[in-house]
Amino acid sequence: MSTLLEVLITCDSNNPLWTTCVWDPHTGTNLMTYKGGGTAEMKTLSLIGNDYIAAVERTKPILHVWPLNSQQTVQGMRFILPGKANALAITRDGSFIAAGIDEKIYLWQTSSGNLLTIINRHYQKVVAIKFTADGRFFVSAAEDGMVMVWSLVAVAAHPEVEHIAQTIAGQHDPVYIFSDHSLPVTDLYISKTGMHGRLTTVSCDRLCKIYDLASGEMLLNLVFDVPLSAITMDVLELNIFIGTTEGKIHQFSLTNPPRSRDVLINIENNCSTFHGHTKIVNCLSVSLDGETLMSGSSDEQVILWHIPSLQPIRTIRHKGPVTNAFFTVNFPAIFEQDFSPNIILHSLDRTLEKDSDDVTEIEVLVNKKIPFWPVIHENEIQSSQSKEMENEFKQKELIIREELEKMKKINARLYAFTIDKTLKSDPDLLKNNNKNVNKKKKRKAN
């Protein structure tokens, strides 16, 4: 399986055998299953770096985490959330976790478990959260129709981390607020270039909107005739794939954009359509080669489509409605027995208040070899370098002073020499000079 470049990860809502499963998309073979997590909530399945996979349980406020090479959850640690989460996102390197619980957004640091902040700017339940590829920003969407873009640095480094009370927390200012949807937002997609790319959103109001994250302007507004439920883009981000509540998937090309910003989509003329599902499409994802589209639906099917021909390649049936499904690169850790994760996990705090007397000590074990006194060694080097620079400066200063004294003596001698030569070369001037000297002497004698 080491030659496999990408795998497919799915969840469904009625499978007693496993919570999530890893598939070979080329053969439909079951490669790995993760058990003991109940039913995963919609759009909460996420990877924690290259070491873990996590999902929120639908009926309980629990985040289940599995090592990639183990069917059982992490032992000796439970991740209890402040409430049942409706959305979950984790940065690509696994450093931060964001969860949407009702209308609030909770942000944790993974390694310490510290609750950094609670954002309270949405008015209804948060349904989707996604980080940019570089992890510097994240986007939240809610049932109030609002989409907000947040800076992770601005939110995590807020003064409330230390001393603010939980009752008045969460009044952060987002980078952008998009309130163009009139009904709940159902899904969103962020370009791989992050804030230099595009943000696309779909909603129950039958609208698909494309924004430029660099300027915050809406570039395109696509109007469909049915409510929309899922969205994704291909690898080159030249085509948009939009899932509907009727089970159809529409493909819209961005290579020939329309002249007007608002476009009414005619299904027969404007875009291609994938027909195969009978119920709402919950998940969409495109393979790394850009040739295969994956769709997961409430009709208990995951269908792999050949994009150029619009034909289904393979159907993977599940026990219940598919809640999470996406393509990802193949991780070697899935097939290793002796696998030691590099990411440190810690139980998650549930409140912002911190007791200064209650200090938790964390023992960190690292595989890398680190010099015993790296900081002191650097300080010694810096101090020795500063002393050498100081000595050099003093020596240069002494040399400059000596040179100045020499120049003064030389200038005095040159002045005396020129005066003497001038007087000897002009006798009249010498006589006048002598008369002046004699007069001065007489005056002094009188």
- Which H or E element spans position 79? strand 79-80
b/e map 388-418, b = 16+ CB within 10 Å: eeeeeeeeeeeeeeeeeeeeeeeeeeeeeee
Between the alpha carbon of residue 195 and those of residues 24, 73, 129, 135, 213, the distances in Å are 33, 35, 15, 10, 5
Let me know whether 21 and 170 are in one domain. Answer: yes
Q: Is 382 helix (H, G, I), strand (E, B) or coil?
A: helix
Which residue, of 309, 335, 361, is where some domain finishes? 335
Residue 369, in any domain of the structure: no
**Distance of CA 344 to CAs 34, 69, 131, 347, Å?**
20, 16, 20, 10
State both tokens at 169: 């927390």
Share the mean pLDDT of the chain. Answer: 85
The answer to whether position 341 is within a domain reads: no
- Give, in degrees to the nearest 5, the angle at Cα 87 between 85 and 88: 95
Q: Tokens in use for 168?
A: 């008045």
Check whether residue 419 and residue 316 sit in a common domain.
Answer: no
Q: How many domains does the chain have?
A: 2
Q: Verify that 289 and 154 share a domain, yes or no.
A: yes
**Shared domain check, 189 and 129:** yes
Q: Is residue 70 one of the residues assigned to a domain?
A: yes
Residue pair 129/98 in contact by the 8 Å Cβ criterion = yes
List the 228-233 sheet strands across, edge first.
Answer: 228-233, 239-244, 249-253, 272-274
Beta strands 217-223 and 262-264 are parallel
Domain span at 407: 374-445
Q: What is the pLDDT of residue 335?
A: 82
- For residue 335, how many other CB atoms are within 10 A of its CB? 15
Same domain, 378 and 318: no
- pLDDT 10s digits, 202-249: 999 999 999 999 999 999 999 999 999 999 999 999 999 999 999 999
Residue that terminates a domain, selected from 335, 354, 388 = 335
* pLDDT confidence tier of residue 315, bands split at 50, 70 and 90: very high
Kindly state whether residues 305 and 413 are assigned to the same domain. Answer: no
CATH number at residue 107: 2.130.10.10
Q: Could you say which DSSP state residue 298 is in?
A: T
pTM recorded for the entire structure? 0.76
Span 117-138, average pLDDT = 93
Residues 216 and 311 in one domain: yes
Q: What is the pLDDT of residues 105-115, one digit of tens each?
A: 999 999 889 99
Assess if residue 340 is contained within a domain. no
Domain end, chosen from 335, 366, 387, is at 335
Asked if the structure places residue 252 within a domain, the reply is yes
**Closest among 209, 185, 161, 181 to 87, alpha carbons compared:** 185
